[in-house]
Every structure is written in C-alpha cells, then in structure tokens.
Copies of this chain bind each other. A is one copy, B any other.
Amino acid sequence: MIWASGWRLASAVANAGGLGLIGAGSMYPEVLREHIQKCKQATDRSFGVNVPMLYPQIDEIMRIIVEEKVSYVFTSAGNPKTWTSFLKENGITVVHVVSSVRFALKAQQAGVDAVVAEGFEAGGHNGREETTTMTLIPAVREKLSIPLIAAGGIATGSAMLAAMALGADGVQVGSRFVASAEASSHQAFKQKVVEAGEGDTRLTLKELAPVRLIKNKFYEDVEDAYARCATPEQLKELLGRARAKKGMFEGDLDEGELEIGQVSALIHNILPAAQIVANMMEEFRVAREKVSEFSI
C-alpha cells in the first residue's frame, strides 16, 4: 500500500468503520508525522501505521509513532522481536504481517497482539513459499492462538466470508483500496488497476524480494533478463531505485513498478473508501445468507 495509503485513505476507512492504516513505507519520517497529524484531524476513530522494518530511518519512524500516540502498528519485512516490546510498552497494539506458519509463530512468540497472514495472490512484496490464502489461513489457524487476519485476494464481502470460513478473525484489504477515491496513488495507476484482468499480475524478482506487480514494459524487461539468465546483481541493477514511486505515484505505467494483487481482476471501478466498506459488509451478509441455504 505504499504510495496509496496516506491520511486521506486511512481516515476515510476509519470513519467508515474499518481500521485505516497509513503506509509508512513510502514516507520520510517527517512526512509520516504530517500524515498522522492530518489523520487525527480527519477522524475521531482509531487508526494505525504500517511499518516495513527494513526502513533505513526506522528508529525515527518508531519514535514519531509513539510521540503521536498512534493506537495500532502493523509491522512487516523484518524480525518482530526488534520492536514489539518497545511498541507495547508504549501502549500500542502490534500486528505483524507474515506469509508462513513459521513466521506467524515467531511473531506470536515475540509478543504481538495479532498476525496478518498474506497469501501468494497478494500484491506487492510477498513470501517465498508461494502459499495461497486458501491454504495459508487454515494452516496458520491450526497453530496460532492469537487473532488471525487474512490478506491476499480479498476485495469483496464474499471473499471476506471465505477467509473467515477458513479460520480468520478478520481481513486486511489492500488492492481494493488502491482503486479508491482517497488513495494517493496516481490516477493513471488506479485506472490501470481497474482495467487489469485475469493473469495480468505476476510474482517476480524472487531472487531479490518477491513482488507481485502488473505485467508492463518494466516486467517484460525483467522477463528478458531472466531469459538471458541474469544474475541477482544484474536484476538489482535493472530494478534500480524508486521504480515503485515512478509507477504508482508518478503514473509511469511503462517504466514503473505497479504493485497490485491478483484480485485486481475483480476490481471494476474507483469508489470512495466508505462505499467500498459498505459494499463489502453488504456482500458479506448476502454471501452468508446464500451459504446458509445450502442443504448440507
């Protein structure tokens, strides 16, 4: 959700009854502080910040989060042991994002309050195991004793019901909110997400950090590099810097990295976040009513 989830989206989701998250991954520390402060002005409800822990200025980020009295922190891309105690001592609820049972249990051991388990179909950075939501959620549920939030492939209320049938206590929704009025993503990228169909995303760059993105010219260049049997160093050079910003924030659909989930195939419009939340709740009720009628 980098370059998508700033204060506008987070506060809109919070006001609609969800737990809005600010994505710190694309923000300098002082930019994050500004987003937190604006979010507080835009909503009276709780919200959270997602922090990829490989962030270079992580100490400053965490200090700001505590100073600004943020209620929830979702950590990812790093060891949950590093920051969980510090955050919890400061009264913050900590949720860690994983893509395997093994890391879910490590997070639980580190003392987090809940785990997000994210399947292979999810957009952006992803795990190496390639475990899909359908298999991952029950596998984590089998072993984990703290609350479990499902992610990956969830853009509708029926998928929310499916995730909860598999054992999740809640869901984390990314891609669907990229195509929202309040997302800070470039309009051209939002439109690209709406137009994306079946098979238009791919998990690639597994030698660096696996990432799911829309197949575009940049992706084809990566594929060409693979066909030439490129080394990880060569792939790294090809990737370069700021590709994600270029694609998702600046709207360069050819040269940018366009991170989105497979579920983009099911996203057909750009809607206000409140409408997305309302639709999902209604779809959930309709789907639950429908499965209650199966004579099994």
A residues sitting closer than 8 Å to B (CB atoms) are 100-102, 119-121, 128-135, 138-139, 142, 152-154, 156, 158-159, 161-167, 198-199, 202-203, 229, 261-263, 265-266, 281, 284-285, 287-288, 290-292, 294, 296
Contact = CB atoms under 8 A, between A and B. Distances in A.
A131 B287 contact: no
Nearest to A284: B296
A22 B59 CA distance: 60
A134 B132 contact: yes
Main secondary structure of the interface of A (DSSP, over half): helix
Contacts of A139: 198, 265-266
Query: How many copies of this kind of chain does the complex include?
Result: 2
A291 B198 contact: no
A64 to B, nearest CB: 34
B154 A202 contact: no
A149 to B, nearest CB: 14
A134 B134 contact: yes
Nearest to A157: B296
Given A161-B165, A229-B229, A121 B134 contact: yes
A262 B135 contact: yes
A153 B266 CA distance: 20
Given A131-B262, A154-B134, A156-B138, A199 B100 contact: yes
